[in-house]
Structure 1
Amino acid sequence: MTQFGYLDFLAQMGVGGAHPGGLSLTSYLLAQETITDQTAILDIGCGTGQTAAYIYSNFPSQLSACDANEMMVKKANQRFHHHRLPLKATVENAELLSFPDESFHLVLSESVSTFTRTDYSLAEYHRVLKPGGVLLAIETTKNPSLTDETAEELRAFYRFPRMLTEQEWIDALQIAGFRKTSSLTPPSYEEDLEEQIENGTDFSLTHPIPQAIYDILARHEELAPHLSFSIFRAVK
């Protein structure tokens, strides 16, 4: 019998915008970048395609989207088909991407790399970026105030290979070859109700949902308040 994990929960529920800050934060970060119809973007770990659909509709670019989870890729492509977007998500392993060297100007990782072996995934992002290309990453960080016991609970439940502090993320990015790395401050802004609805989490449910998935949701709600995140902008 398959033992479900947190990523299975996201896939079964088809959660879009599950990363910290949601689509509002993504929108803010992308607005700070220079994006034209010649900008090649990779949405790594695209999930159900919420971000990719948003990028296509708001930032003319050459967009690629991929995820390691086949169910997520299927749901992303269903979203693209429903909205008549000429996009096709593909199955990719962030630790071993199939894209050629120097393929992209921008790589976007929304709470993806934290689930990978970062020595491999960060090196792959660096490889597929063009010189001067940018990695934008919104990732879980280990708050130094966490007890070892709580940190291990988080790591085990979410199946993180390891939990990194903000400084350890910066160190890992530099080891991967990025020449300029900064930790960005989340914006403080207020959205009206219409924007909150537009940019909120959405769902694409698989039926039937196994009870184990609801159990994971309940445990996630208990542990989530202990999670911290940081925003990183790294330049190749």
Structure 2
Amino acid sequence: MNDQPILQAKNISHKFDYELFNNVNLSLNEKESIAIIGKSGSGKSTLLNIISSLLKPDDGEVIFENQNIYTIKNKKLLNIRREDFGIIFQAHYLFRGFTANENLQIAQFLSNEKVDEELLKSLDINHVLHQGIGELSGGQQQRLSIARVLTKKPKIIFADEPTGNLDKDTAHDVMNTLFEYIKSNNAGLVLVTHEEDIAFKCDKVYKLVDLELQEIK
């Protein structure tokens, strides 16, 4: 296990028409899960986009493998997104003209990793692989998008409301799958959620309030 954090956010500040947060600091270690909670509009998803390389902050640094990801060349950043970062979006971004299995095969082709049959069973989607995306429920699409991300074996998973379309029991099963993944692969997990019972299953919990990120667990 690496003694150094696998990801660090240092003095992150950002605003749109109004200030969202100021001097945010966060550190993620191997095998560690972090949850970020806060009121709607507090900037949770924006912060996740910043630390996952999708949105450059107004100020501050995001350090991955001893480099600020916002100062490296675009080609290398694209490689990090493809190989090292796994992003679970609220919108699933599945290919609707393909079956569930074909969506997984695309992920397998891009990552050169084999789809884990046990993973599909744990997410309870192994029986719907032949179906088109439009035939799947919202919850099944959510779980398929999670399987697609985990198939590429990322070093860090960034998840925006990963259990938002799931019933309580299925949500807890999905979280257990994510926790098992990071433990087995020396990876890390950062998730945004409005569900505090889900958040407090994580190793650390932060809350965005009054422009600050406060550690509450």
TM-score (norm 1): 0.32
Greater helix share, structure number: 1
Greater strand share, structure number: 2
Ranked by relative contact order (alpha carbons within 8 Å, sequence separation 6 or more), the top structure is 2
